[in-house]
């Protein structure tokens, strides 16, 4: 995103520089709530997830740690290097995380039980995601951004759960 100065010159907006760290903290808090509230144990109750939850709590913790660290690394790179794709990546990540927040609401309503992560999804994650998507830089939200967000929302957690199951945390 660029802004025009009084003399007509363009300069990068500071908005993505603020939103990347905010989104990272919101994501980390959401992941922490899911881990501390033991989402795998909650999901293993019959009727909540078809076939049960695919990984143990230690494996889930590994997956969350991996996701959080990878997201923080992406955010740090986007803030420090300011690549041209940073705005599109921010919009894509915010949309993927917003889909995750909505999924917590829907699952909680479907099973009539508060899904771990729902509170942070509603109070922290969704507001930061919506703020990140409000007035995005021109050209950052396209059909490909939406497709990328859906793929991120589905494939990245699945891959991290697979890796978490292979390398569970020792605690």
List, for residues 26-66, the tens digit of each pLDDT value.
Answer: 999 999 999 999 999 999 888 787 777 788 899 899 999 99
Query: Does residue 148 belong to any structural domain of this protein?
Result: yes
Query: Does residue 4 belong to any structural domain of this protein?
Result: no
95-122 tens-digit pLDDT: 999 999 999 999 999 999 999 999 999 9
Q: How many domains does the chain have?
A: 1
The rounded distance, in Å, linking the Cα atoms of 45 and 33 is 18
Query: Does residue 30 belong to any structural domain of this protein?
Result: yes
Query: Does residue 171 belong to any structural domain of this protein?
Result: no
Query: Does residue 10 belong to any structural domain of this protein?
Result: no
Answer with the residue of higher pLDDT: 114 or 85.
114
Whether the Cβ atoms of residue 133 and residue 102 lie closer than 8 Å to each other? no
pLDDT, residue 6, reads: 53
Query: Does residue 23 belong to any structural domain of this protein?
Result: yes
Domain coverage including residue 57: 17-166
Name residues whose C-beta falls within 8 Å of residue 22's C-beta, 6 or more positions apart in sequence: 128, 131, 132
C-alpha dist (Å) from residue 49 to 69, 133, 157: 27, 30, 16
pLDDT, residue 24, reads: 97
Whether the Cβ atoms of residue 77 and residue 83 lie closer than 8 Å to each other? yes
Q: Please tell me the pTM assigned to this model.
A: 0.83
Query: Does residue 11 belong to any structural domain of this protein?
Result: no
Query: Does residue 3 belong to any structural domain of this protein?
Result: no
């Amino acid at each position: 995103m660029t802004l025009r100065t009084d003399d007509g010159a363009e300069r990068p907006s500071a908005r993505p520089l603020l939103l990347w760290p905010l989104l990272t903290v919101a994501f980390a808090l959401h992941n922490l709530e899911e881990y501390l509230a033991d989402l795998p144990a909650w999901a293993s109750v019959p009727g909540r997830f078809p076939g049960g939850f695919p990984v143990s709590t230690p494996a889930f913790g590994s997956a969350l740690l991996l996701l959080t660290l990878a997201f923080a690394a992406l955010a740090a790179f986007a803030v420090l290097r300011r690549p041209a794709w940073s705005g599109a990546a921010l919009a894509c990540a915010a949309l993927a995380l917003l889909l995750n927040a909505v999924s917590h609401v829907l699952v909680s309503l479907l099973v009539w039980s508060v899904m771990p992560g729902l509170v942070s999804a509603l109070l922290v994650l969704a507001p930061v995601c919506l703020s990140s998507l409000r007035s995005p830089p021109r050209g950052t939200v396209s059909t490909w951004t939406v497709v990328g967000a859906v793929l991120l929302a589905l494939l990245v957690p699945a891959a991290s759960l697979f890796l978490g199951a292979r390398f569970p945390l020792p605690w």
